[in-house]
């Protein structure tokens, strides 16, 4: 176990400059089990979890899909489970003001409601006790039993009083498209508490439209199709019209595609608006008003000027949030990840200002 800095060095208050919007903590299995009621601990010990690991569906060709130096020395340790290493490799290394934790451990929700809710509580408690309590730079995304809206709302209510929880986490693919009314109570509860909803791919989509691809390369590029499809669905089902305060953070699904999606939406709406009375405005406006994007893995045009152009087309300068995706293999360093073609003020906003505004962070970082 890497030594944890229990009290990060006190520094002068400063304007929020660098926020990482996508860090993946991984609770060790015993830490989750010990936080489950006895009835559900026994269940998991006997029957396990019902979905295979995502890396068994699409094996990553190298190092299990992890940054090679992110494996803790602790026997059985898993990347993202060791706070000391997380501090050393991300928070301290880049002098982060804040890092947002997206725990992916429950995005394969194929359990009965009571167990799923118990797992969500256990994971959130682990994050609070082992990470948020021990480093004030860390902020949490509330993990919810998203297939069960009522239980999800309960979990949001349980956590939301604590300002360290800054958003609610949803999977890239659930049992139904994410704009389905089944999930609306979750969006409504998050919005009522001033929390954005982040969507993060988990890799369990059933590929209903075209069938399953064969390789991780396809699967990983297609994460951006999942995001496009979900955003399209949320717009078309009138979610943003129905929950006008909703703020959505599309995480790790790419960015530049939204430009074309906005053109597609407005072109088609001109012809078909009679079918969708809930959409009272050109639908690209809902996208513009309600959606944020994290950078990693950001598209990389051969000509970096194309990237700045695409960003400008999509009016995303105030909607992009820098993210490292620690500890995954395609980790982005804030010193190298973004093209130099970005204007300075956009760059500053992407690295810190946009996240500070979205998550309503104190303008001065905690010391």
Partner 1 sequence: MIDCDVHCAPLSLRDLEPYLGEYWREYVDGAGIRVTGFTAAYPPAAPTSARPGARDDGGPAVPNRYELLRGRLFDSAGAPSRVILNCLTGWEAHRNPYYQAAFASALNDWLRHEWLDRDERLRASIVVPTVDPDDAVAEIERLSDDTRFVQVLWPARADAPLGNKRYHRLLAACAERRLVVGIHAWGRTGRAPTPSGFTLSYLEDYLSNPIVVQSHVLSLVGEGAFERFPSLRVALVECGFSWLPPLLWRFDKDWKGVWREVPWVKELPSTYVRRHFRATIEPAHLPAAAGQVAELVEMVGSGWLLYASDHPHDHGPGAERLFEVLDEAAAAAVRAGNAEALYPLLSK
Question: From the CB of 236, what's the least distance to partner 1, in Å?
Answer: 4
178 in Cβ contact with 230 (< 8 Å)? yes
Question: From the CB of 289, what's the least distance to partner 1, in Å?
Answer: 17
Q: Is 207 in the site for partner 1 (CB under 8 A)?
A: yes
Question: From the CB of 27, what's the least distance to partner 1, in Å?
Answer: 26
Question: From the CB of 280, what's the least distance to partner 1, in Å?
Answer: 14
Q: Is 302 in the site for partner 1 (CB under 8 A)?
A: yes
Spatial strand order of the sheet with 248-251 comes to 19-23, 98-101, 138-143, 165-171, 197-200, 248-251, 291-294, 320-321
Question: From the CB of 237, what's the least distance to partner 1, in Å?
Answer: 6
Task: For partner 1, give the closer residue by CB, 152 or 224.
Answer: 224
User: Site for partner 1 (CB under 8 A): how many residues?
Assistant: 68
* Residue of 271, 336, 340, 344 interacting with partner 1 (CB under 8 A): 271
Q: Is 301 in the site for partner 1 (CB under 8 A)?
A: yes
Q: Which x/- pattern, by CB under 8 A, does the window 14-53 give for partner 1?
A: ----------------------------------------
The contact set with partner 1 (CB under 8 A) reads 60-62, 173-177, 180, 205-218, 220-222, 224-226, 228-230, 232-233, 236-237, 254-257, 259-261, 263-272, 274-276, 297, 299-302, 306-307, 309-310, 313, 329-330
């Amino acid at each position: 176990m890497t030594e944890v800095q229990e009290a990060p060095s006190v520094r002068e208050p400063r304007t929020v400059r660098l926020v990482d919007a996508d860090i993946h903590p991984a609770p060790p299995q015993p830490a989750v089990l010990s936080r489950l009621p006895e009835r559900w601990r026994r269940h998991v010990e006997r029957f396990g979890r019902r979905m295979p690991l995502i890396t068994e569906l699409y094996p990553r060709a190298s190092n299990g899909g992890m940054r090679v130096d992110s494996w803790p020395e602790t026997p059985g340790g898993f990347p993202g489970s060791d706070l000391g290493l997380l501090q050393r490799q991300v928070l301290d290394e880049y002098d982060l003001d804040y890092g947002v934790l997206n725990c992916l451990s429950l995005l394969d929700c194929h359990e009965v409601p009571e167990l799923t809710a118990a797992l969500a509580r256990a994971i959130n408690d682990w994050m609070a006790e082992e990470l948020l309590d021990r480093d004030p730079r860390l902020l949490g995304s509330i993990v919810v039993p998203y297939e069960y809206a009522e239980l999800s709302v309960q979990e949001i209510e349980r956590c939301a009083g604590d300002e360290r929880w800054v958003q609610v986490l949803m999977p890239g693919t659930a049992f139904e498209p994410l704009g389905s009314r089944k999930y609306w109570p979750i969006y409504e509860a998050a919005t009522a508490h001033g929390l954005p909803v982040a969507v993060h791919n988990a890799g369990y989509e059933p590929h209903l439209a075209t069938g399953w691809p064969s390789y991780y390369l396809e699967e990983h590029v297609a994460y951006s199709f999942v995001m496009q499809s979900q955003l399209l669905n949320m717009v078309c089902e009138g979610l943003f019209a129905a929950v006008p305060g909703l703020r959505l953070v599309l995480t790790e699904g790419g960015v530049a595609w939204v430009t074309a999606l906005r053109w597609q939406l407005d072109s088609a709406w001109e012809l078909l608006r009679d079918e969708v009375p809930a959409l009272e405005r050109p639908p690209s406006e809902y996208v513009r008003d309600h959606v944020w994007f994290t950078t990693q893995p950001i598209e990389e045009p051969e000509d970096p000027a194309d990237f700045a152009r695409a960003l400008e087309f999509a009016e995303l300068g105030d909607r992009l949030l820098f993210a490292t995706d620690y500890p995954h293999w395609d980790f982005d360093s804030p010193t190298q990840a973004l093209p130099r073609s970005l204007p300075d003020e956009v760059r500053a906003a992407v690295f810190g200002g946009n996240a500070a505004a979205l998550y309503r962070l104190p303008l001065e970082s905690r010391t």
